[in-house]
Amino acid sequence: MNITKQSGLHTVEFAVVGAMFFILLFASIEFGRLMFVWNTLDEMSRRAARVAVVCPIEHSAIRRVAMFDEPGTSGESPILKGLMESHISIDYLTSTGGVLADPAGNYLDIAFIRSEVSGFQHQLIIPFFFQTFELPPFVTVLPRESLGVSREGTGCFGTIS
């Protein structure tokens, strides 16, 4: 009988098949994680633009609220590790799409608000493939709304002073 010549074959087979299985498992988990990060950054861009069109120009809480955080807090996003307010930019645009250098001084010229989330680094965690790469910018443009001025004298985060 050839039993002794095959003792350990199951271990070798498991090592080969197991390695492939775990690489595919981690790859599928990482793909799901990447989709979460992608959708979260896209939603942060949308939220930043939405809050900016109804809040006073360059309000300090716009970026915090876009990051799914409370106004008045600081630090990185509670949702995505490594995402800071500096990754979110808000531009006030004219009707032709030009960026206003002084939006407060040219209040009536504001036609659109553009928010952009850019510069975020994502790290892969697939075994043997540890790599960090920068995701593309996520941009949202919305038409101007109240910009923090309401009939009742209240703004997006309480009474305007």
CA distance 127 to 121: 19
Residue 98 is predicted with a pLDDT of: 94
Q: Tell me the per-residue pLDDT of 110-150, one tens digit each, with 9 for 90 and over.
A: 999 999 999 999 988 776 777 888 999 999 999 998 888 76
Strands (E), the chain: 88-93, 112-117, 121-123, 132-134, 138-143, 154-155, 158-159
40 has pLDDT over 60: yes
In the chain, where the domains are located = 6-159
Contact 145, 52 (CB under 8 A): no
* Gyration radius (Cα) of the chain, Å: 24
158 pLDDT above the threshold of 60 = no
Question: What global pTM score does this model have?
Answer: 0.81
**Is the CB of residue 118 less than 8 Å from the CB of residue 137?**
yes
Give residue 159's pLDDT band: very low, low, confident or very high (50, 70, 90). Answer: very low
Tokens, residue 89: 């930019």
d(CA 86, CA 17): 45
Q: What is the pLDDT of residue 2?
A: 52
